[in-house]
Chain A
Amino acid sequence: MSITEVRTEPRTPAVKRKRRPHLRRNLPGYLMLAPFLALFAAFLVWPLLNSLYLAFTDFNGIKPPNFVGFDNFERLWTDDARFRKALGNTSLYVVFSVGLTTLLALALALAFRTTSLRDKTMRTIFFLPSVTSSMALFLIWGWIFDIEDFGLANTVLSWFGGGSVAWLSTPELAVPILVFISVWGGAGYGMIIFVAGLNAIPEELYEQAEIDGASPWRKFWHITLPLLRPVTTYVLITSLIGAFQVFEAVYIVFRTTASNVGGVLDSALMIVPYLYDMGFGKFELGFASAIAWTLFIVIFIVSTVQLRLTRTLKDL
């Protein structure tokens, strides 16, 4: 139903309409809308505008803010090594986490899509991290990647003859570990969406292809994948946005390895942990607001490019 159709909807006779003014007639509507709108304006719209303003000031939470123009953005984009590190880590993390999660989710959905007991059990197993307290999961991972020989990761390594690894304090391993944790935790969620997408594809298409003698691979390539495209786009975009906002994993898993957020040599530093560190560790609220808006710009650009790409692929 389109918006215009809804618009003409209260079909009260014209005479009656004239007698009762718009506001009085629709007062209940405005009253029902008011609580949401008031809170929405107070805790979302106003804060967003306010943070845009703060991004151009030197606000530190105590002294009144001074307008400093583009200073924060200039400092952030041109000579902030920590931010460059955070941006680099986040980009790597996003690419691998989103890519691997989506691929694994699709593979799982293709393998376990029926309502048989086996498939249901497997789906439940892979979905379990999505319904477990995320804080608990990160604490478990921190304990698994313990530096000592009795950590689970080191024990498994020793079965294959490997020596102990100081997992969390090895800078080269920080982003791969975070990617691993996120794929482990996120694939089951994407799988559920893919299963729904797969089951929505009409069975007749496959039967038709079968009659035409199409191989399973061709069926997958020419029927399944194209028809899954909207679902794939949805999974990609949502996990992309989620991946850019990673905070808890970094904060909890790598907290023990260094005194500041971000682990040894900032090897696990990402954009939101950096925002937290600057905003609530060092109380540079103006500068942190600039980080927040940069995050928005980055997410906006990447998801727009991604949507464009999908559209172009569709036209091919």
Chain B
Amino acid sequence: MSRRLSWGSIARIPLYLLAVTMLAPFWWMVIGAFKPVPELSRNPPGFLPADPSADNFHDPAWVAGKQIAGHVAGLLQRWPELPGGYFRFMANSLLVTTAVTIGSLLLAAMAAYALTKMEIKGRRIIFLVVLASMMVPWQVSLIPNYLIVRNLGWLDSYQGYIVPALAKAFVLFFLVQYMRSIPDELIHAGRVDGAGEFRIWWRIVLPLLRPALAAMAIFVALAEWNNFLWPLIIINDDSYANLPVALSRLSTSIAQNPQGMGVVMAASLLTSLPTVIFFFVFQKHFTKGITLSGIKG
């Protein structure tokens, strides 16, 4: 037993080294965000900022329209024409992510209830079409969806993000699977008591679906927070940009100039924080959600 254990520990050593590799990019981002401009292009680079500063977020020495050596506009000093600056993108991302998550879950939960617990003509066909649609990569519908949104006049708008993202086949599929485990008796009891279907759905079904909804909420919210290709296509106006698009444009405008990489790292740090904090708060739900959908889905 003890010999096997020691073999196990030896086999784990490369994985510990790998863990260091895992953390290195995060470390590089954090120190990059707090390095003053001259340190960003120092060779060899420091693994701790020699003179840590928050200039990459807000540089008091920077003046609009003036070139001062060693100073660039801090993250929060950029986009002066946008009220809120960087926080506008944060608000956009939050708004869109919340709307898509809540909306898509409610729509799918309603549809899943109707499909599994009520008499619907053609339910098999509907379910088959939904299943089949999951096999097609979403990029296939990208161009027509762009044309639809353009014709609706929804380019540069929140509804352009939200409305096309509401009907999610995999959420419906997952909720239908889960809904089948809810005993019909509970719903009958509700019907006998004279409750309407909507009331039963809201009062009885939704609470029972909570674990499945939590799992799907994490998936949908993370995907929406990271959504890039779709907003890249439909959003031109910075005031509707979400964080990924804003970050992408910020880094293009800096174009790998080491002077500005501190600002890009500061933006990356601020953009990552919400999801990482969210993860540490709801850690249990994350792993549960992944395994729930991974093994059943």
Contact = CB atoms under 8 A, between A and B. Distances in A.
Interface of A: 1, 3, 6-7, 9-11, 22, 25-26, 28-30, 32-33, 35-37, 39-40, 42-48, 50-51, 54, 61, 104, 107-108, 111-112, 122, 124-129, 131-137, 139-144, 146, 148-150, 152, 155, 158, 184, 188-189, 192-193, 195-197, 200, 216, 230-231, 234-235, 241, 244-245, 247-248, 251-252, 255-256, 272, 275-276, 279-280, 285, 288-289, 292-293, 295-296, 299-300
A141 B244 CA distance: 15
6 contacts: A26-B118, A37-B111, A42-B148, A47-B144, A133-B271, A248-B229
Contacts, number: 280
Nearest to A235: B294
A118 to B, nearest CB: 9
A22 B287 contact: no
Given A111-B11, A272-B139, 11 more contacts: A26-B118, A51-B141, A125-B23, A135-B247, A139-B265, A143-B264, A143-B265, A150-B42, A150-B258, A235-B294, A245-B139
Nearest to A271: B139
A26 B198 CA distance: 12
Interface in B133-158: 133, 135-137, 139-148
Nearest to B111: A36
B244 A33 contact: no
A195 B28 CA distance: 29
A295 B269 CA distance: 34
Given A280-B233, A292-B143, A32 B256 contact: no
B172 interface: yes
B25 interface: yes
A299 B144 CA distance: 20
Given A29-B114, A148-B258, A152-B45, A135 B144 contact: no
Contact of B140 (A37, A139, A193, A296): A296
Nearest to B251: A139
Given A131-B279, A131-B286, A216-B4, A40 B169 contact: yes
A111 B12 contact: yes
Contacts of B225: 133
B67 interface: no
B53 interface: no
B167 to A, nearest CB: 4
Nearest to B171: A36
Q: Report, as a range, how many residues of chain B touch the other chain.
A: 35 or more
B251 A29 contact: no
Contacts of A255: 252
Interface string B19-32: 10111111011001
Contacts of B137: 241, 244-245, 292, 295-296, 299
Given A43-B163, A244-B137, A292-B142, A35 B275 contact: no
B285 to A, nearest CB: 12
Interface stretch (B55-63, B69-77, B119-127): B119-127
A33 B114 contact: yes
Contacts of A112: 15
A230 B294 CA distance: 10
B29 to A, nearest CB: 5
Interface string B39-69: 0111111000000000000000000000000
A288 B108 contact: no
Given A129-B22, A137-B25, A143-B32, A155 B45 contact: yes
A43 B116 contact: no
A275 B271 contact: no
4 shortest interchain CB distances as A-B pairs:
A136-B268, A29-B118, A47-B144, A196-B291
A93 B221 CA distance: 27
B222 interface: yes
A33 B120 contact: yes
A148 B44 CA distance: 10
B110 A47 contact: no
Contacts of B135: 300
B110 A33 contact: yes
Given A48-B136, A292-B142, A28 B251 contact: no
B44 A158 contact: yes
Contact of A54 (B11, B144, B261): B144
B287 A295 contact: no
Given A43-B163, A131-B278, A189-B290, A248 B228 contact: yes
B265 to A, nearest CB: 7
Nearest to A285: B143
A154 B278 CA distance: 34
A132 B276 contact: yes
A184 B28 CA distance: 15
Given A3-B124, A150-B41, A32 B24 contact: no
B243 interface: yes
The winner among B45, B137, B276, B297 for most chain A CB atoms within 10 A is B137
B113 interface: yes
Contacts of B295: 193, 196-197, 200, 230-231, 234
B203 interface: no
